[in-house]
Structure 1
């Protein structure tokens, strides 16, 4: 893959920032409308967008780096973010559960949170624990899953495109088998994420959506990409049964119909200041908006006549949770992380 055909790894890519900005808004909105049809539609594609973007950002330089340097540059930050945000989430969880209405024993909470952080999976049942532990905040699975998928991409990226496609298909099958198995360190989620990184990497390798291409070419390429992402997501998230066939078929169509118009617009020239900020802030918004939701839930229960209006799932409650999440966490990201420069 000629390095001249690939944007420099350090250069911002405006449409990728716009894509990630849309993705993080959908992540927060999806959690705010849990249990609704909108939630199901958003969940059919919102996380693949992030993995796809990470695959596109995988550069020729990454593929040529020594494995040790690559692990230090791309994988260690994922694990560091996981541990830092895990400790923040665990501390909040322990405070709420021990000193809140539940009054659960401190020793039990410490044991559960330690098991959750060390397992880094959706659920993990360890001996002597009365119930499965759950990674909390729930978004933290993303960091170890991304680390696994990036390692897989690094080990396979120099292969020919047909080989990468075959590996991605194999990962589809393995990810479907491993789904919800609770493998340690989110290995099952990492396997399921690998195909989306491959798709993004192949798109970058062959550049079908660069601005230099005519709009019909970009539109057709994006339609193919989004239909593929939607189809893969549907296969990985739906049970293998006849009753799920209709939903499986509709998901990629809804995915393409909702996202395609916006994604085609993302490739337009122009500044991306706000989308760039949202894209970078997703590092903080993604794991911590669940804490914001929890705080708001506790506050709204004490809001008297406004309790029903601002309850979880109500229109005003949805707007409140989404707006407060970004109003609090974007400035927090700027204060805590942005001063050291945006992540590579």
Structure 2
């Protein structure tokens, strides 16, 4: 059974993911007049929007399958979408000529595009690694696995607090605390989104406090993961309690379709920006609204067709009942 509170959380977060990429594209194109405004909005959104997805994934991570069935399931739900949509993105870059400066011009360039992981697809790879590692700990450590996962999460935070160079694993280490926090708090999943007024206010206050600290100290602060974790908890607590409102139900509907939006939005937001610029439109408001709408609406339309044809798994979106 789905939990609408967390669908609402994901719906709110995916809107911020799409808008965040629209905003970054506009900043790179020089369409945001104020550098301070561009940076403030970017930092405010990027503090927590992807940690939310890692945290919620952790909350619902309770694998029961054997090792082979588990790996097969994760390969189909995470690695297959990564490969398929990396190939789609690579092909579009090659055909449009936009990939020439990255050396993407022929078939072999497209086929090799997924390695190393690029674009938004890093999330799928990192989530795959974290889930496989957590599964191994749960199987090997038995009833001691919460303690092992807690130590692993604290160690990941310590890497940045102490300024240790994590090398190529930095993106995994950076996001590990959010996923592991979700796993460790899974038993409190219902408590985090109980529809009571006081927890709603507390959650909102925690979120705002984390944002203020982050905007003051910047992304370079060693404790940024703690700020991100607090912002994530505050966002989850606040958005989850909107599930019984009109807005919350709309977000929950959107939250059930986040994979299609995530996989496709970067192509559409960039394409919308390029098209508007070619037509001579440079207004910040128009670009922000049009890019966000296209990044959400087109994937929803594609998903509707794919689901109706029962091709959700093949498309990498997952098949809904």
Q: Which residue of 2 aligns with 1:298?
A: 274
Structure 1 stretch 74-83 or stretch 258-267: which is displaced more?
A: 258-267
Q: Which residue of 1 aligns with 2:303?
A: 333
CA distance 1:178–1:227, shift in 2 (3 Å):
farther
Q: Which residue of 1 aligns with 2:183?
A: 201
Contact 1:147 1:190 in 2 (8 A): no
Q: Which residue of 2 aligns with 1:68?
A: 68
Inter-partner Cα distance in structure 2 for 1:190 and 1:338 = 36
1:323 Cα shift?
Answer: 1.0
Q: TM-score, normalised by structure 1?
A: 0.70
- Within a 5 Å distance, the mapping from 1:73-152 to structure 2 comes to 73-97=73-97, 110=107, 112-120=109-117, 135=118, 138-152=119-133
1:163 aligns with 2:148: yes
Q: Secondary structure at the match of 1:33?
A: helix
CA distance 1:253–1:286, shift in 2 (3 Å):
closer
Q: Which residue of 1 aligns with 2:21?
A: 31
Q: Secondary structure at the match of 2:278?
A: coil
CA distance 1:103–1:76, shift in 2 (3 Å):
closer
Q: Higher RCO, 1 or 2 (CA under 8 Å, sep at least 6)?
A: 2
- Within a 5 Å distance, the mapping from 1:268-307 to structure 2 comes to 268=244, 274-304=250-280, 307=281
CA distance 1:296–1:45, shift in 2 (3 Å):
same
Q: TM-score, normalised by structure 2?
A: 0.75
Q: Which residue of 2 aligns with 1:125?
A: none
Contact 2:85 2:263 in 1 (8 A): yes
Count residues in correspondence. Answer: 295
1:51 aligns with 2:54: yes
Contact 1:89 1:291 in 2 (8 A): yes
CA distance 1:67–1:173, shift in 2 (3 Å):
farther
1:162 Cα shift?
Answer: 3.6
1:236 Cα shift?
Answer: 11
1:198 Cα shift?
Answer: 1.5
Inter-partner Cα distance in structure 1 for 2:113 and 2:228 = 33
